[in-house]
Amino acid sequence: MIYDLVAIGNPVYDIIVTPYISTKGRALSGCSTNACLAAKKLGMKKVALIGCIGKDFLEKFLDDLKRYGIEAPNVKISEESGGFKLIYNTVGDRTLDVLGVAEKISPSDIPDECLRTRYFLLGPILQEVNLDVVLFLKETTNSKIFLDPQGLIRKIGQKGRIVYQCNEEILRKIVSLVDFVKPNEHESIVMTKTKDPFVSAKILFEWGSPVSIVTLAERGSVVYDGKRFLRIPAYETFAIDPTGAGDVYAGAFLFEYNKTRDIASSGLFASAAASIMVENSGPDFPMNEKEVRRRLTVIRSQGDTLKNRFKSLLS
């Protein structure tokens, strides 16, 4: 039996502080982890996570994954687990201070059984996935590859605070090998040196990814396939914790794309799913396909209302 989704990227245990919530200790998170959680909760049958975890959180991590039904076919053990302390201000900007750094992931850490998957999701959090891993996947599988590049443009700055910088040459090579690339707005600015998300999406497409996505928090997202720009609205809600919203967007996008092969419906579905994540904090967010589709319907109706208003202004 093949996998539906194999996510590659280190799990983390974070401390999160927003104006509305504060985690009690460190909570399971991470790009690849949250994407797996979303895909599994939505109904993907066989989902696996490949990453490194420290001895400090090994037992808890294995218990957590078992509880959520996510497979861990090859857990690489580090001296310490990765993690950040995230502090958000009232407008949603955040700082990330490093709590720990796990080991890097190499091609040899990917079991042969995991090469038989419909989709790979690459979700590094701090440089643990490199070009060698992407080349290996491209050369040995026919699976679609979805890249969330957040961890490729992070480095540890002074006093352990994360700063952002881009090795454009390497990043362009990686983007050219994947089928989907999805930075958020701030990451796209670092990568493409433009504040215009439409221009950024076009640049990422020109680097070689057939589909580029730029997420814009409460302003939705932009999806581009070389032929059309899709402006995907967000579901209006109150965000208590933005952590992991983009990760859930990625997992939900692949869930829907696996059913429809349509980037427009997949973007709308992903936007609806991300709205559930921001209403909650931590891995126990209550997500199911029925509620996501209800929210998708609301997003579509909002879009139709805006179109009708625009037409009335022109008439």
Measure the CA–CA gap between 167 and 134, rounded to whole angstroms.
16
pLDDT of residue 66: 97
pLDDT of residue 314: 38
Give the tens place of pLDDT for each residue, 212-241. Answer: 999 999 999 999 999 999 999 999 999 999
For residue 236, how far is the Cα from the chain centroid?
Answer: 20
97 forms beta bridges with 85, 161
Give the tens place of pLDDT for each residue, 152-171. Answer: 999 999 999 999 999 999 99
Give the tens place of pLDDT for each residue, 57-100. Answer: 999 999 999 999 999 999 999 999 999 999 999 988 999 999 99
Tell me how far apart the terminal alpha carbons of the chain are, to the nearest angstrom. 57
Q: Which of 59, 2, 70 is nearest to 30 (CA)?
A: 70
pLDDT reading at 284 higher than 90: yes
SS (H, E, C) 218-266: HHCEEEECCCCEEEECCCCCCCCCCCCHHHHHHHHHHHHHHHHCCHHHH
pLDDT reading at 125 higher than 60: yes
Q: How many CA atoms lie within 13 A of 195 on its CB side?
A: 0
Give the tens place of pLDDT for each residue, 25-51. Answer: 999 999 999 999 999 999 999 999 999
Q: Which of 70, 78, 82, 68 is nearest to 7 (CA)?
A: 70
pLDDT of residue 309: 39
Give the containing element (helix H, strand E) for 311: helix 289-314
**Arithmetic mean of pLDDT, 105-132:** 97
The pLDDT-based confidence of 303 (bands split at 50, 70, 90) is low
CATH of 3-314, one of 3.40.50.460, 3.40.1190.20, 3.40.50.970, 3.20.20.70: 3.40.1190.20
The pLDDT-based confidence of 302 (bands split at 50, 70, 90) is confident
Measure the CA–CA gap between 77 and 261, rounded to whole angstroms.
37
pLDDT reading at 308 higher than 50: no
* Chain mean pLDDT for the chain: 95
pLDDT reading at 265 higher than 90: yes
The pTM of the full predicted model, rounded to 2 decimals, is 0.94
pLDDT of residue 306: 43
Q: Which of 245, 88, 130, 128 is nearest to 182 (CA)?
A: 245
Please state the domain extents for the chain.
3-314
